[in-house]
A = this chain, B = another copy of it.
Amino acid sequence: MIRDNIIELFSRDLPHVKINSSAEFLEKYGNDTLKLIKGSPLLITFPKTTEEVKQIVDFANKNMIGIVPSGGRTGLSGGAIGFKNEIIVSLEIMNKLIEFNEVESTLEVEAGMITQSLQDMARANNLYFPIDYAAVGSSQIGGNIATNAGGIHVIKYGMTRSWVMGLTVVTGNGDILKLNKGLIKNNAGLDFTNLFIGSEGILGIITQAIIRLTEIPKNQKAFFVGFNSLKNVTEILNVVKKKTRLLAFEFFTQTALEYALEEDTFSYVLEEKHKYYVIFEIEGTNDISYDSELTDDIVSSLFNEELINEGIIGANHADRSLIWKHREHIPISLNKHYPYKNDISVRIKDIPDFIKNLDTLLDSKYNELVVAWFGHIGDGNLHVNIPKPIGLSIQEFKSICDDLSEDIYKLIQKYEGSISAEHGVGLIKKKFLHFSKSPVEIELMKSIKKIFDPKGIMNPNKVI
């Protein structure tokens, strides 16, 4: 069998590289959080150094085998799936701190470090890594960078892109590049750092990164409000934005919330149920009396303008945590229902209009599906989730959802929005990329891939 031959060849050529090809490992490391497609990789490898990653890439080039870089596999677009006979390169063992630099407030780490470990390391040094979302406990920083992860704090802190000061990568051609090297100002030639950020493994493998940290936000307050008219959501956003700077602004529907509540891991904290909800968080100042005046002002404005029916505020850590559970548990619970996920964005100015049209589309043409919406409205990003109805097969369900996606993406195209705001294109959105990118842009991307990966071994069948 070819499969066995390659594994034998790999063990002979690279005996020092840790591998595993058991069914259990192939299943675990060959798939990501997208459950609608099943991977079938050849071999799982666990390099310990950038040099070993290079050796694996060289081996793959020599033998014309595909490579899939693998972080925490929390991706939702199938970008880390070993689709067919690839070598999976797990960065799991490369999870070490290389250097913390106090003067710079930077952390240099290997790509396999768990996002939450990086957050914790920052906190331990009285600093803050602001990229945050439900899966940080298992996602890795390399994966965050390769997918330009977003999450709930983008409205203030930007995407992962904003925090990367340097990268070490192994290109598909087997070249080791050290990009930007921690410099704040560097205009010496074309910027490859940003080209690799969000490239989803099609150009190469990220093995190390220098990450910038920032100050810990102080005296945060989380507000949890409920209301019954969809159009209120952007008005609430505008009212709060005018008064203060937001750390987060998350919207979700009652349908979405019910998934979070179904597992009974926490108790609902508002008194009544509403059709729509927003959780928003604001940063405090050094001046507590100013902060509480501001809080009163925000709450009374929202009630006076009849934008909310009910609301609570959480100021201490425990109260804020409890409020946030209502949002965080939505994707966690939904993932058990084989959801079809759309992760779309439009410009902030287009949000009210877009939401209205999307609502009409879902209501008129897809009202037999349960649709759970939630999203980072503050930065133009909406997640439209459809759990698989129990009676349908995965194939039947995918076909209906492909139709729906096509309809949603046509609307996105009209608004010049993105078919992938933060999840990436991966395996599942490749065929829809043309709704966000022109044919010329897609051709240019293919040409750029060829430069870094002339034999096309890097994450085959993904993105373009």
Contact = CB atoms under 8 A, between A and B. Distances in A.
Interface stretch (A9-17, A270-278, A441-449): A441-449
B189 A441 contact: yes
Interface string A172-186: 000101100111111
A437 B104 contact: no
Instruction: Please indicate which of the listed interface residues A148, A194, A199, A286 has the most CB atoms of chain B within 10 Å of its own CB.
Output: A194
Nearest to A447: B451
Interface in A303-324: none
B103 A184 contact: no
A238 B190 contact: no
Contacts of A161: 191
Contacts of A448: 190, 448, 451
A183 B380 contact: yes
A89 interface: no
A345 B418 contact: no
A463 B189 contact: yes
B154 A184 contact: yes
Interface stretch (A62-70, A332-340, A346-354, A387-395): A346-354
Contact of A347 (B104, B189, B441): B104
Given A162-B162, A183-B417, A444-B451, A188 B290 contact: no
A101 interface: yes
Contacts of A287: 285-287, 290
Interface stretch (A31-39, A43-51, A117-125, A421-429): A421-429
A410 to B, nearest CB: 15
A2 interface: no
Contacts of A191: 148, 161, 194-195, 197-199
A381 interface: yes
Contacts of A177: 438, 440-441
Interface string A370-385: 0000001001110000
A433 B185 contact: no
A205 B462 CA distance: 30
- Residue from A190, A194, A433, A438 whose CB has the most chain B CB atoms within 10 Å: A190
Interface centre among A175, A245, A442 (most CB of B within 10 A): A175
A61 interface: no
Contacts of A381: 184-185
A183 B345 contact: yes
Copies in the complex: 2
Contacts of A451: 444, 447-448, 451
A191 B148 CA distance: 10
A147 interface: yes
A253 interface: no
A379 B185 contact: yes
Contact of A421 (B185, B425, B441): B185
Contact of A238 (B103, B185, B290): B103
Contacts of A238: 103
A420 interface: yes
Contact of A195 (B178, B194, B376): B194
A245 B217 CA distance: 13
A408 to B, nearest CB: 14
Contacts of A42: none
Nearest to A186: B418
A154 B194 CA distance: 18
A184 B379 contact: yes
10 contacts: A103-B348, A104-B347, A175-B440, A184-B381, A185-B380, A187-B421, A187-B423, A189-B445, A190-B448, A285-B287
Interface of A: 101, 103-104, 147-148, 150, 154-155, 159, 161-162, 175, 177-178, 181-192, 194-195, 197-199, 202-203, 215, 238, 245, 285-287, 290, 345-349, 376, 379-381, 416-425, 429, 433, 436-438, 440-442, 444-445, 447-448, 451-452, 463-464
